[in-house]
Structure 1
Amino acid sequence: MKKIRIAGAGCTLVAALALAGCSSGGGGGSGGGTPAAKDPTTLSTSDSPMGKILVDGKGRTLYLFTSDGKNTNSMKCDAECVKEWPHMKGKPKAGDGVQANLIGTTKGGGTPQATYAGHPLYYFADDHKAGDTKGQGIDKIWYVVDPHGKAIKKAASSGGGGGYGY
């Protein structure tokens, strides 16, 4: 099979059928068949200094809020809290390292929030790129989530951000 390189596509194509798997962004990629960006609603796991953690399809870290408890239908993170800790909306799909039977949503009013092992899932506003874990351990109530849906309480090596206690 003949390999074809398309300038700016960020990947090498093997025949015309592989075109659908290429990224059209100009980000340069690593070449050699780099897949398109994953669907952001797909949960998967990623390696971190704290071990394997739950991330969305773009590699953004997901957190749980211990005050929510497990199998909750009413989140304790109010409107002011959600500015700093936006929730993951809707029901995501299971990706690598994730147990599909642990994925769910809250049943409260408004937009359903994604849950994993009964815990509502949140992002931290100061995490700006894939792999950031600046929210880890804030106020000893916000933690990254392991593949089994449990809070990882080990400190992040890069340190956390300021507090936002609830």
Structure 2
Amino acid sequence: MRRFRLAVVGTAAFVAIAAVSGCSNGGGGSSNSTTVTPSKVTPTSTPTGAQAMVKTASSGKLGTILVSGTGRTLYLFEADKSTTSTCNGACAAAWPPLLTSGSPSTGGSAQSKLLGTSKRSDGKTQVTYNGHPLYLYAGDSKAGDTNGQALNQFGAEWYVLDAGGNKVDRS
């Protein structure tokens, strides 16, 4: 039992270290800095067997943005050039994909016609919106946080999305 606990703690520490060490600014421009701790790393966005929801919320200076069913901010990754995610491994530990079992749903002013899904390299189903795979950010500890806005990590920038599925390019 002790060996199991050490393995779990060691794995959580490795994921946190990998997420932080892999978060460079990609060699240029400014970058916000956020510390990621094991308690903030979210392995999945929805419980096993759960249907994901994409809805909208007001976020002050960012306006109306997309959030998950639990109110966590959703982001797009500019390295994704199609509905197929390019964020895996340490990237997915820092930027967990919004996963779903079954068809996702919408709420608020999110548009169901822009909602879709894509298979990830691990076989899981990721939610897409207006052609963008959707992600959470491990540095957002609660609903309403937007700490990932305009970060340059894992080779490209991350942005919140508006109800039309477009990146919001302001901080």
Fold shared, TM-score > 0.5 on shorter chain: yes
Q: CA deviation at 1:41?
A: 2.2
Greater share of residues in helix: 2
| Moved segments of 4+, more than 3 Å | none
CA distance in 2, matches of 1:77, 1:114: 14
Q: TM-score, normalised by structure 2?
A: 0.63
Is 1:43–1:95's contact at 8 Å kept on the other side of the alignment?
yes
State the alpha-carbon separation in 2 of the partners of residues 143 and 80 from structure 1.
19
1:58: how far off?
1.0
Change in CA separation of 1:106 and 1:55 when aligned onto 2, cut-off 3 Å: same
Structure-to-structure mapping, 1:65-104, within 5 angstroms:
65-69=77-81, 71-73=82-84, 75-90=85-100, 91-104=103-116
Task: Assess if the C-alpha contact under 8 Å between 1:64 and 1:120 holds in 2.
Answer: yes
- Do 1:40 and 1:58's aligned partners in 2 also have CA atoms closer than 8 Å? no
Residues 127-166 of structure 1 correspond to what in structure 2 (within 5 A)?
127-139=140-152, 141-155=157-171
Tell me by how many angstroms 1:108 deviates.
Answer: 4.3
Q: Name the CA distance, whole Å, in 2 between partners of 1:57 and 1:107.
A: 20
How far apart are 1:72 and its partner, in Å?
2.5
List per-residue Cα deviations over 1:10-69 (Å, max 9, x = no partner).
xxxxxxxxxxxxxxxxxxxxxxxxxxxxx9822111111211100011110000001102
Give the TM-score normalised by structure 1: 0.65
Measure the CA separation in 2 of the matches of 1:92 and 1:84: 22
Shift of 1:78: 1.9
**Higher relative contact order, structure no. (Cα contacts within 8 Å, ≥ 6 residues apart):** 2
Q: Structure 2: any 5+ residue segments left out of the alignment?
A: 1-49
| Corresponding pairs, count | 115
Displacement of 1:107 after TM fit? 3.5
Structure 2 CA distance for aligned equivalents of residues 105 and 122 of structure 1: 13
- Structure 1 gaps of 5+ residues are 1-38, 156-166
SS in 2 for 1:106: strand
The corresponding residue for 1:114 is 127
User: Which protein shows a greater Rg?
Assistant: 1
How far 1:112 moved relative to its partner? Answer: 1.0
Does structure 2 retain, via aligned residues, the 8 Å contact 1:40–1:56? no
